[in-house]
A = this chain, B = another copy of it.
């Protein structure tokens, strides 16, 4: 038995995170500038190596924290990528994660030391290795997930307006929704608490602010909004 282990070739294991953000208008992706580039692509997903003492989830958390200072955000495994040629330097299996953060949270944390930058999903730079493929899978997964679980709120700031959430969902699915139907749908989850204040400054009239009912949200696992995963989109 133990011999079966010894003969086997080992492999580097990397963790890469697709970090989605939302600024109230557009769906964005956080990319980092490679210190030293291996080829002409200078931007890549946030990533690092798996340590021998940590699980995959722990490693992904750690790397996200080291590079952005963010902790406790939505971070879920996407899948593993292991083409033998995907990293030309050495055979590497990468386990990809996707994270949802709101851009405002992130801006208040450190960074810049790591040369991180938000990119519009519609305007991504050339990317390292198979990172583009990872992003493609991640957006598919996000659409799939968001159709049944209210993960969209992970991307919103503490308080937000209905038109903002609608912008987010439109950005995720790359299509427009009727605002009457949308607000009915989103309110019917019972997960939103309407606040007294209005958001001012953006529109003339101002929109009512809402916050997430965290207790309900935490225990909420049911099927949800019926957005149809959209085959086309960015990418």
Q: Is the CB of A11 within 8 A of B9?
A: no
Q: Is the CB of B8 within 8 A of A12?
A: yes
**A1-56 interface (Cβ within 8 A of B):** 1-2, 4-5, 8-13, 35-36, 38, 49-56
A95 on the interface (CB 8 Å rule)? yes
Q: What is the oligomeric copy number?
A: 2
Q: Known interface pairs A8-B12, A50-B11, A223-B228. Does A79 touch B82 (Cβ–Cβ under 8 Å)?
A: no
A90 on the interface (CB 8 Å rule)? yes
- Inter-chain CA distance A9–B50, complex, in Å, is 8
A80 on the interface (CB 8 Å rule)? yes
Q: Is the CB of B83 within 8 A of A80?
A: no
Q: Is the CB of A51 within 8 A of B12?
A: no
A229 on the interface (CB 8 Å rule)? yes
A77 on the interface (CB 8 Å rule)? yes
CB contacts (< 8 Å) of A13 on chain B: these are 10-11, 13, 82, 93
CB contacts (< 8 Å) of A2 on chain B: these are 89
Q: Is the CB of B80 within 8 A of A95?
A: yes
| Contact partner, A82, options B82, B95, B231, Cβ 8 Å | B95
Q: Is the interface of A mostly helix, strand, loop or mixed?
A: loop
Q: Is the CB of A84 within 8 A of B52?
A: yes
- Inter-chain CA distance A8–B56, complex, in Å, is 15
CB contacts (< 8 Å) of A36 on chain B: these are 1
Q: Known interface pairs A8-B49, A221-B231, A229-B223. Does A55 touch B82 (Cβ–Cβ under 8 Å)?
A: yes
CB contacts (< 8 Å) of A81 on chain B: these are 56
A91 on the interface (CB 8 Å rule)? yes
What string of 1s and 0s marks CB contacts (under 8 Å) between A47-88 and chain B? 001111111100100000000000000000101111110000
Q: How far is the CB of A96 from chain B (nearest CB, A)?
A: 9
Q: Is the CB of A5 within 8 A of B12?
A: yes
Q: Is the CB of B82 within 8 A of A56?
A: yes
Q: Can you list 5 A-B contacts (CB < 8 A)?
A: A1-B36, A10-B11, A13-B13, A55-B82, A56-B83
User: Given A1-B35, A55-B83, A56-B81, 10 other A-B contacts at CB below 8 A?
Assistant: A1-B36, A1-B38, A8-B49, A9-B51, A10-B13, A77-B80, A79-B79, A80-B95, A148-B229, A223-B229
